[in-house]
Amino acid sequence: MKVGEMAVKRINDWIYFFYIEAADFNYGSVVLHKGKKAIVFDTMECVGNGKRVKDYMIDLGIVDFTVVNTHWHFDHIGGNFFYQDDNIIATSECRRRLEQNKKLIETGGKGEIGRSPSDVDTIAFIETSFPVVYPNITFNSRLELYLEDIKIELFNIHIHTRDCLVGYLPQEKILIPGDTLEAPLPLIIEVGNIPVHIKNLKKLNELDIKMIIPPHGNLERYDQGGYDKSFIGNTIYYLTKILSRANKPNFLEGSLEEYITQAVEPRESYRGIHQDNLAIVQQYYSNNNLYCSKKKQRSY
Ligand SMILES: [Zn+2]
């Protein structure tokens, strides 16, 4: 696919996945629909692509939209502008981060890359700029939604960023993970929190899950209904291995293939993301932060 092209994948009778190709990875929206209502997980990276998704669903007869922003990163909120008369749901922390970074997002924050060691609260690589439309319904830990007979549990979980939520459909055993799970490997943002991410991925792994529909993944997988639970194992494996090797010689030379499992397919463009991950992990953890954080835990 060419950059900017959109593919629409039917996951089942009432779930669509919208995939827009980008240079290094893709943007994605998961849309659940029943009758004239739809719940849209994430609104792409810009107003125009958010509109493409909404227009597609309007053409199918949808008139009632609810948006869920899985977290505050630009490629998940870019099209909120076209949903400003609809309900938009996110965690309270997501809204707080958007309020704090509104000006930066609206002016295009190039140069304010947020993958630094101290990054727990800064902007994450804005590639574009757009008007910020805030979520109008927020929650701290859990919220339940219904789309006719479909129950959707939203809960905050600190993986990828602190404000992340995931959507879980307990009857169907479907997980909509936002960026808590990314294929083929996670783009590490809040590097100092990797141990917390691993701990919470293990909690996520305790859920009964048959199908996972991540926003960033291999296009062909969406023809097969998404990923299975081994995808969570892949993410735990990647992060655990990266931490265990952080102080080893030749750490920066570790290839993508050494760090991923059979659960995912390598993607060429993720080699650069993987190299960046290794570099920021080495930068952060080479100062004995691993030892310090263990020591700190023991003394409390
Ligand atoms: Zn993200």
C-alpha of residue 172 to centroid of ligand 1, in Å: 25
Ligand 1 centre and the CA of 35: distance in Å? 31
The whole model's pTM is what? 0.91
Distances (CA, A) of 41 to 124, 167, 199, 267, 291: 19, 9, 25, 24, 39
pLDDT > 90: what percent of the chain? 74
CA–centroid distance, residue 34 to ligand 1 (Å): 28
Q: Is 113's pLDDT higher than 70? A: no
CATH classification of 6-299, choosing from 3.40.640.10, 3.60.15.10, 1.10.10.10, 3.40.1670.10?
3.60.15.10
Cα 73 to middle of ligand 1, angstroms: 5
* Least confident interval from 10-19, 32-41, 105-114: 105-114
For residue 300, the CA-to-ligand 1 centroid distance in Å is 31
Locate the domains of the chain by residue range. 6-299
Q: In what order do the strands lie in the sheet with 142-147?
A: 142-147, 150-156, 165-169, 174-176, 211-212
- Of the listed ranges 128-132, 202-206, 255-259, the one predicted with least confidence: 128-132
142-147 and 150-156: which strand pairing?
Answer: antiparallel
Mean pLDDT value across residues 54-78? 96
pLDDT band, residue 289 (cuts 50/70/90): low
Name the residues around ion ligand 1, CB cutoff 5 A.
Answer: 73, 179
What's the per-residue H, E or C state across the chain? CCCCCEEEEEEECCEEEEEEECCCCEEEEEEEEECCEEEEECCCCCHHHHHHHHHHHHHCCCCEEEEECCCCCHHHHCCHHHHCCCEEEEEHHHHHHHHHCHHHHHHCCCCCCCCCCCCCCCCCCCCCCCCCCCCCEEECCEEEEEECCEEEEEEECCECECCCEEEEECCCCEEECHHHCCCCCCCCCCHHHHHHHHHHHHHHCCCCCCEECCCCCCHHHHHCCCECCHHHHHHHHHHHHHHHHCCCCCHHHCCHHHHCCCCCCCCCCHHHHHHHHHHHHHHHHCCCHHHHHHHHHHHC
Q: What is the pLDDT of residue 287?
A: 64
Which residues, at least 6 apart from 299, have a Cβ–Cβ distance to it below 8 Å?
none
Distance 213 CA to ligand 1 centre (A): 15
